[in-house]
Amino acid sequence: MSEPPKPLGDAVAEATEAASLPKPARRKKPGKAQDVFGGEMRRRDLLPLLIFHLIRDEPSYGNQLIDAIETLTQGVISVNPNTMYPLLRDLEGRGLIEGSWEHPDKRTRRFYSITPAGEDAYRALLPEIEPFLDSVIRSVTMIKAEVFGS
């Protein structure tokens, strides 16, 4: 049997209460990358390390770096432009990377390359981040073993 309809006042009160509750986290569309490391990868300087690594051989622009990181991590890490571009400006402001406009008169794409100070920072980050990445590998391996067996 179905429940009798609620009085209009009760339904309005429930709808008002539901509207005032925090919205649930928006679910990503299937196939879309998610940042499984969350803020941890920013705290551990993983993004700057990846940026330095990717621009060491040839200059790159922001969206190209976003795509390269997603490709490198097979979609496990997805960097939002609202994270990437402020980070690039910060690294440039600190003299670790330098940017130049593809067409200076149009300000289209800004290509970034690593500076000597950025090379030093890159080499300093390598031994700091490797233990974090090792712990991620161990954790994921333990989760997989627990859930799926050895």
Decide which of 81 and 107 is more confident. 81
Is residue 82's pLDDT more than 80? yes
d(CA 108, CA 124): 32
d(CA 100, CA 59): 9
Is residue 137's pLDDT more than 50? yes
Q: How far is CA 143 from CA 18, 34, 150, in A?
A: 35, 18, 10
Decide which of 105 and 81 is more confident. 81
Decide which of 61 and 136 is more confident. 61
- Give bridge partners of residue 97 from the DSSP assignment: 114
- What are the structural domains of the chain? 29-148 (1.10.10.10)
pLDDT in tens, 20-75: 444 444 444 444 444 455 566 656 789 999 999 999 999 999 999 999 999 999 99
Which residues, other chains included, contact 129 with Cβ-Cβ below 8 Å and sequence gap of 6+?
44, 45, 46, 49
pTM of the model: 0.71
**3 state DSSP class of 111:** strand
**pLDDT, position 40:** 64
**pLDDT, position 60:** 98
For 88, half-sphere exposure in the C-beta direction (CA atoms, 13 angstrom radius) is 26
d(CA 69, CA 41): 12
Which residues, other chains included, contact 128 with Cβ-Cβ below 8 Å and sequence gap of 6+?
44, 45
